[in-house]
Structure 1
Amino acid sequence: MAPRGDETPPPQSSVERVYEELREQAIRFDLLPGDRINEVELSKRFGVSRTPLREALNRLVADGFLTFTAGKGFFRRNLEVKEVFDLYEMRQRLEMMLAELAVERASPEAIEEIRGFLEISRREDPTRSVYDLVRLDEGFHERLAALSGNVEMLNVLKDINARIRFVRWVNMERGRRTRTQGEHLEILEAVAAGDAGRARDLLQTHIDGRLEQITEAIRDGYAMIYMRRSGQG
């Protein structure tokens, strides 16, 4: 039986809580590349036993954020150029397919909702952090993908976005935001006009995952990560 509107939702499970918090730390590289995960310390911090902690850590291995070595434990996965390149390529092709479906299925009301979102995201706001800007960028792409009506493909896109978020954060630091915002509007207008070919072409150019660019972003990202650690020391 469905719960009544006045009923309190069930509390988040300890596994889910630990998983969500550690996943966010991994995405932001608060867990540094190659670092060993201290399970004893995490058990104390989260107030959970090793069983739910291990379940959460194994989920993060499956998601691609951690690695596990028998006899040694869990480690934050390194940023690998080939892996990030493959994820960008997959994201690009996936979004191009989703755009085709969006042209077929999107309602005018849903397109207008994204226009409204772009009006907000394009505003210059000095209080927004780079992390906020990346989330707004993801927000556009995931809203556009949702126009397809294909929940499974959208969920795959969200997982890819989480794994490449740090590299996008580095690129946003380089001041790509203004050009990105203009391209978002062009892509949306192509979908609104029912021009699947143009929408695909624009997305192919917009999601720029060139190997040399990714290599440079990862190099700069490592510099930022370890400068941040130095500043905390």
Structure 2
Amino acid sequence: MRASERAYVTLRADIINWHLTPGTVLGEVELSERLGVSRTPIREALAKLTAEGLTEPQSGRGMVVSEISLDHLDELFELRSALECRAAELAAQRCDPEIFLALHHQLTNAGELITAQDPARTDYYQLAGELDIAVDAAVGNHYLTQALKNLRVHLVRVRRLGKDNPTRLRDAAREHAAIALAIAHGKPAVASAATTVHLDNSLRHLLSTTH
């Protein structure tokens, strides 16, 4: 992996996971020392992050981690609905049913993963991510997959603003299970409707915990 790619992957993960919080100044010298690469790969990495909307130039401060505006949350979910509902429809038409039946089974039991011993909910979010990966693979549309990838980066950051609620996460797991089952059964309209229910509930939860 090239030095610029390594720097990009590391910084992207740090931003998404809030190790680098919004407004953090990203000095080239400091980053090059911390990551053990020259300033040129750092500049290339920051250019990619800026293209994704994760960093931005700020007058008098240089490059900083971009802020998250809750004022645009509705707009973000409008786009999410358009992309994810369509992806669910296409996945229902093109998928290997066995993959989604297995995911349905795992997601039905996902409540067991949401425990006090895993406060970051790592296992649960990994399982939810596996559903995203399976949908992307079933859809087989590079442009749609890339659009969803870019969108999910911002959704992960926004999710961190909401208060952790085990009850909501268990409900979300059941909603994901319903999506997986509709896709496995080859029912595009049902898959889209189940996705809409999940997104509506997710948006309501975020709005209630961030205002």
TM over 0.5: yes
CA contact (8 A) 1:96 1:199 kept: yes
Give the equivalent residue in structure 2 for 1:188.
Answer: 180
Q: 1:66 aligns with which of 47, 50, 55?
A: 55
Give the equivalent residue in structure 2 for 1:90.
Answer: 79
For residue 104 of structure 1, what is the amino acid of its counterpart?
Q
CA contact (8 A) 1:84 1:164 kept: no
How many angstroms does 1:141 deviate by? 3.0
Q: Write out per-residue CA displacement over residues 59-102 of structure 1, whole angstroms, 9 at most, x where no aligned residue.
A: 11111111113664101111102334322221221111111111
Residues 87 and 139 of structure 1: CA distance in aligned 2, closer, same or farther (over 3 Å): farther
For residue 94 of structure 1, what is the amino acid of its counterpart?
L
Q: 2:155 aligns with which of 157, 164, 168?
A: 164
Residue 34 in 1 paired to residue 23 in 2?
A: yes
Query: Structure 2: how far apart are the matches of 1:62 and 1:190?
Result: 35
What value does the CA root-mean-square deviation take over the aligned residues?
A: 2.6
Deviates more, 1:134-143 or 1:62-71: 134-143
For residue 196 of structure 1, what is the amino acid of its counterpart?
P
CA contact (8 A) 2:162 2:206 kept: no
Structure with bigger gyration radius: 1
TM norm structure 2: 0.84
For residue 188 of structure 1, what is the amino acid of its counterpart?
A
Aligned-partner SS, 1:26: helix
Query: Structure 2: how far apart are the matches of 1:144 and 1:15?
Result: 30
Deviates more, 1:196-205 or 1:140-149: 140-149
Query: Matches of residues 75-114 of structure 1 in structure 2 within 5 Å?
Result: 75-114=64-103
Residues 190 and 212 of structure 1: CA distance in aligned 2, closer, same or farther (over 3 Å): closer
Give the equivalent residue in structure 2 for 1:15.
Answer: 4
Give the equivalent residue in structure 2 for 1:118.
Answer: 107
How many angstroms does 1:179 deviate by? 0.6
Give the equivalent residue in structure 2 for 1:8.
Answer: none
Residues 153 and 216 of structure 1: CA distance in aligned 2, closer, same or farther (over 3 Å): same
Q: 1:130 aligns with which of 120, 129, 139?
A: 120
TM norm structure 1: 0.77
Aligned-partner SS, 1:30: coil
Give the equivalent residue in structure 1 for 2:197.
Answer: 205
CA contact (8 A) 2:22 2:66 kept: yes
Query: Structure 2: how far apart are the matches of 1:26 and 1:94?
Result: 24
Deviates more, 1:111-120 or 1:83-92: 111-120
Residues 71 and 171 of structure 1: CA distance in aligned 2, closer, same or farther (over 3 Å): closer
Deviates more, 1:198-207 or 1:75-84: 75-84
Query: Structure 2: how far apart are the matches of 1:151 and 1:113?
Result: 25
Q: Write out per-residue CA displacement over residues 94-131 of structure 1, whole angstroms, 9 at most, x where no aligned residue.
A: 11111111121112233234335436744336443425
Residues 183 and 195 of structure 1: CA distance in aligned 2, closer, same or farther (over 3 Å): same
Deviates more, 1:198-207 or 1:149-158: 149-158
How many angstroms does 1:27 deviate by? 0.5
Gaps of 5+ in 1: 1-11, 220-233
